[in-house]
Amino acid sequence: MSFLSKVFGGKKEEKGPTTAEAIQNLRQTEEMLMKKQSFLEKKIDEELAVAKANGTKNKRAAIQALKRKNRYAKQLQQIDGTLATIEMQREALEGANTNTAVLTTMKSAADALKKAHQNMDVDQVHEMMDDIAEQQDVAKEISEAISNPVALGHDYDDDELEKELEQLEQEALDAELLKAGPSGMDVPVPTEEPVAIPGKARAKPSHTQQEEDDMKELQMWAS
């Protein structure tokens, strides 16, 4: 840029349209050309109709109609080529716009991931995982220790326990014997058989006498 241009100001460089704006402009141009296509197709049909109508009556008018039809057809052909070019350009811009959006998103994700990893150190992460594993082992040992039954009191000899049980059984038996008969009284036990009287059946001992005899025998056995 020259010195005068700097002093008085040169022509500012115009900023080009964005990708989205360019795509929109191409679409508007496509719509305009498609309307032009419809118009030319309609004019071609009209000129053909005029040429057919004047083919035998007015040859000059028919030829003029065919000339106009050919001009319209040429314009239509040019528009077809222009539309094909614009369509290709629009598709290329749309693809570029999509790629730009994808790349922008990927760059943002990469920046966010980088920022997230700034405060992280691989060695610290491994150390933290080792601490977690160690604490899990400690927790497992504590759980196993809590779940094991704890022996309460002292261990006793099995022989001593059996002797104590026999003593308790003997005391219980003595208590039953005392309840069944009079305490401190000896019931006389007959030493001789009762004399049998001829002609009479031998008398059976009474129920009470039988119980006393059984009780006496038990007391003699327990003493």
What is the number of other CB atoms lying within 10 angstroms of the CB of residue 48?
A: 15
Confidence of residue 125 (pLDDT cuts 50, 70, 90): confident
Does residue 199 come out as left (phi exceeding 0), alpha (psi in the -120 to 50 range) or beta? left
Residue (of 127, 126, 146) closest to 138 by Cα position: 146
Predicted local confidence at residue 7, as pLDDT? 44
User: Is residue 80 scored above 90 in pLDDT?
Assistant: yes
User: Would the pLDDT of 82 be above 60?
Assistant: yes
pLDDT tens for each residue of 24-65: 999 999 999 999 999 999 999 999 999 998 887 888 999 999
Tell me the DSSP string of 32-65.
HHHHHHHHHHHHHHHHHHHHHHTTTT-HHHHHHH
Whether residue 183 has pLDDT greater than 70: no
pLDDT interval class at 4 (50, 70, 90): very low
pLDDT tens profile 88-119: 999 999 998 889 889 999 999 998 888 887 87
Per-residue confidence at 74, pLDDT binned at 50, 70, 90?
Answer: very high
Question: What does CATH list as the number for 17-123?
Answer: 1.10.287.1060
Per-residue pLDDT tens digits for 6-27: 544 555 556 778 888 888 999 9
**Domain spans in the chain, listed from the N-terminal domain onward:** 17-123
- How long, in residues, is the chain? 223
**Is 92 or 153 the better-scoring residue by pLDDT?**
92
Which residue bears the tokens 């994808």? Answer: 102
How many Å apart are CA 51 and CA 68, to the nearest integer? Answer: 10
Q: Could you give the CA distance from residue 211 to residue 190 in angstroms, rounded to a whole number?
A: 14
d(CA 222, CA 180): 13
